[in-house]
Amino acid sequence: MARDERSVTPQSEDFAAWYQDVVFRAELVDRGPVRGSMVIRPYGYRIWELLQADLDGRIKATGHQNAYFPLLIPQSYLQREAEHVEGFAPELFTVTHAGGKELEEPLVIRPTSETIIGEMMAKWISSHRDLPLLLNQWANVLRFEMRPRMFLRTSEFLWQEGHTAHATAADATAETMLALGFYQDTAAEIAAMATVPGEKTPSERFAGAERTFTIEGMMRDGRALQAATSHFMGTNFATAFGITYTGENGTAELCHTTSWGMSTRMIGGLVMTHGDDKGLVLPPALAPYQVVIVPIGRGEQFGTTLSAATDLAATLRRAGIRTHVDERPQLSPGFKFNDWEMRGVPIRLELGQRELAAGTALMSRRLSYPQPAAAKVAIPLETATDLLVAELAAVQAMLAQRAADFRDEHTATVDSWPEFAAAVAVGWAVALHCGELACEDEIKAETSATPRCIPLAGEPEQGRCIRCGRASAYGKRMIFARAY
């Protein structure tokens, strides 16, 4: 029997196919004309705008200022920091011709902006009084992607990148952790994702950084997703670009710099953290529509219920609830119900003649946890606003708890190789490791798992490597998982 074209592949059958079905059928994204590119559709872009607004507010509240830097970067800029250019070389898009002529120097389309911003920092900073310099940019970047996947890995994506310069390593380190806190708070409070903040191992560091920190989230197939990163650069880029300041004693000193970023990859993480076999499940804080009202009836009856739905929507909007009335007369109520389930709307209200006569609306929740709630509940129109405000807050908290419970249920602390292999097959393994790259490579070859992070909250512990038996290197257990 053919599957309904509006349905999605079950997660248990093929998680990757489920993901593809959801992002396209919920109209978050479409494929661009160039391989690896994506068109973010209005519904998906609204989710990005809501994420962006929250994070931008946190960034500005701590004294950072938004700026914008050029898309095209002289190739020689990237070559100044050897580790940086080596790390990005396979991903670069390069412009060699313009105006019908070959350029004297090729231009790189920004894969990230440390180099161009470093050049400007060197111009703008002269004295200790110019520090700290706290910049942020909202932009697009391009990185060639061999195996693109919408939102998760595309050749062009949107992001925010913070870049700061400081007088001391201590100040720059504090900034690195401040930025990591932005991401952890946005993920937990707005996206309802149960992310773990931690430090990357040397093999997983950003090219050119001395230390890289991350927030890692667990997706509903047990894999990890690096949701955002924050990097302490030390004086690497200051040395390469001459970013110096004159101290109070009159001597020239190198600045210590940071960079940190979160991208539209977070939308993919949101889909895979909360979605189910019916489609998207959106936390209210990021739902383009928190409540959708479906007026029911035909002919004059539809006109009456539509008028009442429009009035109710106006009341809810005044209370700050993002509300939409589905006015599509050509579609059946059942089609609309399935459509909004696919799009992950937290709450749906049905309004027909019977409900109007009773002074009520029928409320359906997109998801309830841990026990399914009644399919539909009649709510009084008089008190609908207060009830829905409370209900949306409860849904937000419920999704955060559900994500945390899922993560904890699929995370195992292991002390033997068989336990490790079993754990990473379905989720995360928390284990001791020697820190040797060759050992990491062996683990990846056998299990597809990689070191995700050394959790900041981990307790000090010494012991033997889970794979090779040598002494552990980091003084803590670390998370291993298969990852996106």
Tell me the CATH number at 313: 3.40.50.800
Q: Tokens for 175, please give them.
A: 């900034």
Residue 321 has pLDDT above 90, yes or no: yes
Q: 196-209: string of b/e by CB count within 10 Å (b at 16+)?
A: bbbbbbeebbbbbb
Domain boundary among 357, 390, 423: 390
**Residues 212 and 336 occupy one common structural domain:** no
Rounded to the nearest integer, the mean pLDDT of the chain is 95
Contact 365, 347 (CB under 8 A): yes
Q: What is the mean pLDDT of residues 458-473?
A: 96
Among the listed residues 241, 276, 238, the one whose alpha carbon sits nearest the alpha carbon of residue 257: 238
Q: Tokens for 358, please give them.
A: 């009773």
What's the pLDDT band for 80 if we cut at 50, 70, 90?
Answer: confident
Domain boundary among 274, 305, 323: 274
3-state secondary structure of 166: strand
Contact 172, 166 (CB under 8 A): yes
**Residues 137 and 211 occupy one common structural domain:** yes
What's the pLDDT band for 459 if we cut at 50, 70, 90?
Answer: very high
Residue 154 has pLDDT above 70, yes or no: yes
In a domain, 178, yes or no: yes
C-alpha span between 267 and 286 (Å, rounded)? 10
**Residues 296 and 247 occupy one common structural domain:** no
Q: Tokens for 291, please give them.
A: 């409540």
In a domain, 15, yes or no: no
Q: What is the mean pLDDT of residues 189-196?
A: 98
pLDDT of residue 7: 82
**Residues 425 and 463 occupy one common structural domain:** yes
**Residues 431 and 385 occupy one common structural domain:** no
Question: pLDDT tens digit string along 266-287?
Answer: 999 999 999 999 999 999 999 9
C-alpha span between 338 and 24 (Å, rounded)? 15
What's the pLDDT band for 61 if we cut at 50, 70, 90?
Answer: very high
C-alpha span between 78 and 110 (Å, rounded)? 10
Contact 268, 157 (CB under 8 A): no
**Residues 218 and 256 occupy one common structural domain:** yes
pLDDT of residue 440: 96
What's the pLDDT band for 1 if we cut at 50, 70, 90?
Answer: very low
C-alpha span between 469 and 316 (Å, rounded)? 61
What's the pLDDT band for 4 if we cut at 50, 70, 90?
Answer: low
**Residues 183 and 45 occupy one common structural domain:** yes
> Using omega within 30 degrees of 0 as the cis cutoff, is the peptide bond preceding 295 cis?
no
CB atoms within 10 A of CB 362: 18
Among the listed residues 433, 437, 436, 417, the one whose alpha carbon sits nearest the alpha carbon of residue 425: 417
Q: 312-343: string of b/e by CB count within 10 Å (b at 16+)?
A: bbeebeeeebbbbbbeeeeeeeeebbbbbbbb
pLDDT of residue 86: 81
Indicate the range of 84-93, 227-236, 394-403, 404-413 predicted with least confidence. Answer: 84-93
**Residues 435 and 322 occupy one common structural domain:** no
What's the pLDDT band for 228 if we cut at 50, 70, 90?
Answer: very high
In a domain, 179, yes or no: yes
At residue 407, what is the residue type?
A: R
CB atoms within 10 A of CB 346: 29
Put simply, whether the predicted model's pTM sits higher than 0.85 gets the answer: yes
DSSP string over 379-393? EESTTHHHHHHHHHH
What's the pLDDT band for 6 if we cut at 50, 70, 90?
Answer: low
pLDDT of residue 373: 65
Domain residue limits at 314? 289-390
Residue for token pair 């609204």: 46
Pairing of strands 244-246, 252-254: antiparallel
Contact 43, 286 (CB under 8 A): no
Contact 356, 305 (CB under 8 A): yes
Instruction: State the CATH number of the domain containing residue 438.
Output: 3.30.110.30
Residue 239 has pLDDT above 70, yes or no: yes
Total number of domains constituting the chain: 3
In a domain, 7, yes or no: no
In a domain, 12, yes or no: no
**Residues 374 and 231 occupy one common structural domain:** no
Residue 133 has pLDDT above 60, yes or no: yes
Residue 48 has pLDDT above 70, yes or no: yes
**Residues 212 and 253 occupy one common structural domain:** yes
**Residues 319 and 371 occupy one common structural domain:** yes
Burial class (CB in 10 A: 0-12, 13-18, 19+), 145: middle
Residue 53 has pLDDT above 60, yes or no: yes
In a domain, 280, yes or no: no
Distances 91 to 37, 159, 302, 459 between C-alpha atoms, Å: 14, 17, 55, 37
Domain boundary among 335, 361, 390: 390
pLDDT of residue 163: 98
In a domain, 122, yes or no: yes
pLDDT of residue 89: 84
Among the listed residues 317, 395, 307, the one whose alpha carbon sits nearest the alpha carbon of residue 351: 307
Instruction: State the CATH number of the domain containing residue 185.
Output: 3.30.930.10
In percent, how much of the chain has pLDDT > 70? 98
**Residues 101 and 226 occupy one common structural domain:** yes
Question: pLDDT tens digit string along 432-450?
Answer: 999 999 999 999 999 999 9
At residue 406, what is the residue type?
A: F
In a domain, 398, yes or no: no
